[in-house]
C-alpha cells in the first residue's frame, strides 16, 4: 500500500496555501491599481448615528474616517491603506495588534470587531490562509464604504456581519474563537461604554478557547482607562499593555502564562520569516510594559 509521509502532506498544504495567496494577491493588487486611478479628494460620505462616514484619497493613501457630525474636523482616522502595498498595515496600533499571533500562531477561527476600511482583516485573511475570519461592524455606512472602495476579498473564509459586537458575541457558542481583535473606537478615540464593561469582557473570555488571546486598542487618555485595564486583569490571568504613543494602548489579555520579552522577540522573528508580513513587528515588543 502506498504511504504518504507527514512531510509530503505539509508540503502539499503549504503549496496550496501559497497558490491561493498568489491568486489573492493578484486580486488585491488589481483592485488597488484601479483605486489608484481615482482622483484625490473625498470619495464617499454618509451619515450614521450622529457620525459622518467619509472615505478620502490622497497620494495613493485611502483613508476612512468616522467623524462626529458636530465637529469641524478630526485627527482620528479609522483606516489608512497604502494602495501601493495594501497588505502593509500603515497605522502603528494595527501593527501592534498582530502581536496577538505570538500567543496564537495558528488560529483556526478569529473575530475582528470594527471593520473600518478592513485593513486588519484583509491582512489576516491573506497571511493566514486556513483561518475562518468573522468581522463584525455595527455601521451599515462603514460596510458600504469599505466594500466599495477598499480591496476587500470576501469569501467562504471571510465574512462581514452587520451587528453590535456585544450582541454578536452573545449569540456565539462558548470557546468559539482562538483570537479576538477588538478595534472599537469612534471619533476622539472613544470606545462605547458597553464594549468595555465587565459583562462584555466576561463575554469575550467565555467565547475564547482556553488558550485564546484578546487584543484591543484603547484610548489611554480616557478618564476610565485604569478601571478598564483593572476589569481585564480581574477576568484574565495575564494582561500585557503595549503603549503605542501618548494616546493609545494596545492590550493583550489571555489565560496563558506571562511571556518573557526574549521569547516574544524570538517568536516575532520566526513569524516574520514564516508569514512575510509587509511591516515590522518586533519594535512594538519593546513598548510592552513589564
Pairwise CA distance, residues 16 & 49, whole Å: 43
Cα 61 to Cα 36, 79, 84, 150, 214, distances in angstroms:
9, 10, 8, 11, 29
Burial of 155 from C-beta contacts in 10 A (0-12 / 13-18 / 19+) = exposed
Active-site residue 183, yes or no? yes
Give dist(CA 275, CA 231) in Å, integer.
33
SS3 200: helix
Sole residue written with cell 473606537: 185
d(CA 256, CA 267): 15
Convert 180-201 to b/e letters by CB count within 10 Å (16 or more is b): bbbbbbbbebebeeebbbeebb
Instruction: Name the catalytic one among 183, 197, 211, 255.
Output: 183
Name which of 93, 90, 69, 103 is nearest 209 in CA terms.
Answer: 103
What gap in Å lies between CA 139 and CA 112, rounded to an integer?
14
Q: Which residues on adjacent β-strands are paired with residue 51?
A: 48, 68
Count CB neighbours of 120 within 10 A. Answer: 23
Give me the active site residues, please: 183
Amino acid at each position: 500500500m502506498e504511504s504518504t509521509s507527514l512531510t509530503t502532506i505539509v508540503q502539499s498544504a503549504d503549496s496550496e496555501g501559497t497558490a491561493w495567496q498568489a491568486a489573492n494577491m493578484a486580486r488585491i493588487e488589481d483592485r488597488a491599481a484601479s483605486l489608484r486611478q481615482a482622483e484625490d479628494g473625498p470619495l464617499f460620505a454618509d451619515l450614521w448615528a450622529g457620525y459622518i462616514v467619509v472615505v478620502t484619497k490622497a497620494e495613493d493613501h485611502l483613508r476612512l474616517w468616522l467623524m462626529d457630525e458636530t465637529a469641524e474636523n478630526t485627527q482620528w482616522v479609522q483606516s489608512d491603506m497604502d494602495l501601493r502595498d495594501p497588505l502593509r498595515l500603515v497605522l502603528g496600533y494595527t501593527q501592534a495588534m498582530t502581536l496577538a499571533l505570538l500567543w496564537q500562531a495558528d488560529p483556526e477561527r478569529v473575530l475582528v470587531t470594527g471593520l473600518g476600511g478592513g485593513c486588519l482583516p484583509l491582512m489576516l485573511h491573506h497571511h493566514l490562509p486556513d483561518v475562518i475570519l468573522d468581522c463584525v461592524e455595527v455601521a451599515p455606512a462603514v460596510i458600504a464604504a469599505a466594500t466599495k472602495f477598499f480591496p476587500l476579498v470576501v469569501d467562504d473564509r471571510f465574512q462581514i456581519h452587520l451587528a453590535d459586537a456585544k450582541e454578536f458575541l452573545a449569540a456565539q457558542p462558548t470557546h468559539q474563537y482562538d483570537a479576538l481583535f477588538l478595534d472599537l473606537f469612534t471619533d476622539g478615540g472613544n470606545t462605547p461604554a458597553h464594549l468595555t464593561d465587565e459583562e462584555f469582557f466576561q463575554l469575550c473570555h467565555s467565547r475564547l478557547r482556553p488558550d485564546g488571546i484578546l487584543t484591543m486598542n484603547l484610548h489611554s487618555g480616557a478618564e476610565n482607562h485604569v478601571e478598564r485595564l483593572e476589569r481585564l486583569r480581574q477576568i484574565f490571568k495575564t494582561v500585557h499593555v503595549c503603549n503605542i504613543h501618548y494616546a493609545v494602548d494596545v492590550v493583550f489579555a489571555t489565560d496563558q502564562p506571562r511571556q518573557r520579552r526574549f521569547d516574544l522577540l524570538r517568536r516575532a522573528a520566526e513569524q516574520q520569516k514564516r508569514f512575510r508580513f509587509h511591516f515590522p513587528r518586533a519594535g512594538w515588543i519593546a513598548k510592552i510594559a513589564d
